[in-house]
Amino acid sequence: MTKLVFFDIDGTLLDHNKQLPAKTKEALQLLRDKGVYTAIATGRAPFMFADLRKELDIHSFVSFNGQYVVFEDEVIYVNPLATDSLDRLNKYASERGHSLVYMNEKMMKASRSHDAYVEESLASLKFPYPEIHSDFYKGSDLYQTLIFCGKEEEESYREQFPEFTFIRWHPHSLDILPAGGSKAEGIKKMMERLNFKIEDVYAFGDGLNDIEMLKLVGTGVAMGNALPPVKEIADMVTSDVAEDGIYLALKKLELI
């Protein structure tokens, strides 16, 4: 029976400078040469990692933290955010002076202009400030929204919007998903399509949004640069992304 390996992007496939290490690219090619099925599991929108998929020749992915799943270039599962809830969120955030960024599979739009939190957060992913379209959520299915606020302000959003799951990915920003949404749920959809057993599934990650995924799979690997809660639940901790963490772990696991 072949194996299935999922890779997070930021801090896992891509290093701290958002570059793909040569050894990581080599490792994924070695996996494919051995017939191991490779896929991406990310909080990013599909349009945000199209070039990476092309470079790695990967055609299956879990995006938006599990809300938009593609198998061999075919969409097999979507779980959009409720429009009426987004309407309430838009008003609530606006009253507090907090910006939102709305995302579908093709683009992202910002609710407000000139927000330093938006600029800094997206710059960390090497993306520019989005165009402004405060009502974008009304005309398109959205699979993830970003809220920009400090840690001391996030609890009020959790209390007001139980229909959403909030996951902090940056000191200034949180991902907003449908309640219960996670990479793990998206991976389950792909496993159903491939008919894989859980013990044959592996995953690599480093962030808070990777915890459910690493718990679900047969072998969850935390990068050396992973946050402490991620390392605590992982089956294995490898070295830093910049120190060939993926390559070394795959060797140790005898997948390559």
Question: Where does the chain hold its CATH 3.30.1240.10 domain(s)?
Answer: 83-178
Pick the CATH number of 4-78+181-252 from 3.40.50.720, 3.30.70.141, 3.90.1650.10, 3.40.50.1000: 3.40.50.1000
Q: Is 77 helix (H, G, I), strand (E, B) or coil?
A: strand
The answer as to CATH 3.30.2130.10 being correct for domain 83-178 is no
Q: What is the pLDDT of residues 146-201, one digit of tens each?
A: 999 999 999 999 999 999 999 999 999 999 999 999 999 999 999 988 888 999 99
Q: What is the pLDDT of residues 95-135, one digit of tens each?
A: 999 999 999 999 999 999 999 999 999 999 999 999 999 99
DSSP structure string for 125-165: TT-PPPEE-TTGGGSS--SEEEEE--GGGHHHHHHH-TTEE
Question: Where does the chain hold its CATH 3.40.50.1000 domain(s)?
Answer: 4-78+181-252
Cβ count near 139 (within 10 Å): 9
Q: How far apart are CA 136 and CA 140, in angstroms?
A: 7
- Please give the pLDDT value at position 220: 98
DSSP β-bridge partners for residue 178: 164
Over residues 1-29, the mean pLDDT reads 94
Predicted model pTM: 0.91
Buried b / exposed e across 194-230, counting CB within 10 Å, b at 16+? bebeeebbbbbbbbbbbbbbbebbebbbbbbbbbeeb
Catalytic-residue membership of 51: no
pLDDT-based confidence at residue 2 (cuts at 50, 70, 90): confident
